Amino acid sequence: MTDSQTDSPAETAEAEPAAREPHVIPPMSPEEWNSFVAQVASGHAITSQQIEPDMLGRVFMPILLGGLSDWTKEELGQIGCLWESYDKAGERGINGYPCFFSVRMASKEDWERAVPEINRRRAVLLGEDPKEEA
């Protein structure tokens, strides 16, 4: 009997699944980060932080359709926020929210760095003193 004949069908069926590459959210480039902050601060983009948790999948359809279903808890922990530009919204919305057929992710580090700058830029846009916001 040759080596290739020694594998029974049961042995091959129990083989380990192929290892997958871990999901990693790369940091935004300075240009991407500035664009993200500008869009959110000016109201041209929406983030998951602005949406009721039970609406996330309805707003960001890829999430509802299982876009993160194979992510581990550790991988999900990298996500600072989900976001998308309003110009990418579908024609219809739900419960006052837009619906997107795409979604982008900001890493936890990018999001934490962006929040104070978004708040500062919003204050400037509203004619408020950003120093009073701190």
Written in H, E and C, the secondary structure of the chain is CCHHHCCCHHHHHCCCCCCCCCCCCCCCCHHHHHHHHHHHHCCCEEEHHHCCHHHHHHHEHHHHCCCCCCCCHHHHCCEEEEEEEHHHEEEEEECCEEEECCCEEEEHHHHHHHHHHHHHHHHHHCCCCHHHHC
Write out pLDDT tens, residues 112-132: 999 999 999 999 988 887 665
The pLDDT value recorded for residue 129 is 75
pTM value is 0.79
Can you give the residue ranges of every domain in the chain? 27-129
Over residues 48-102, the pLDDT tens digits come to: 999 999 999 999 999 999 999 999 999 999 999 999 999 999 999 999 999 999 9
pLDDT on residue 15: 60
pLDDT at 20: 82
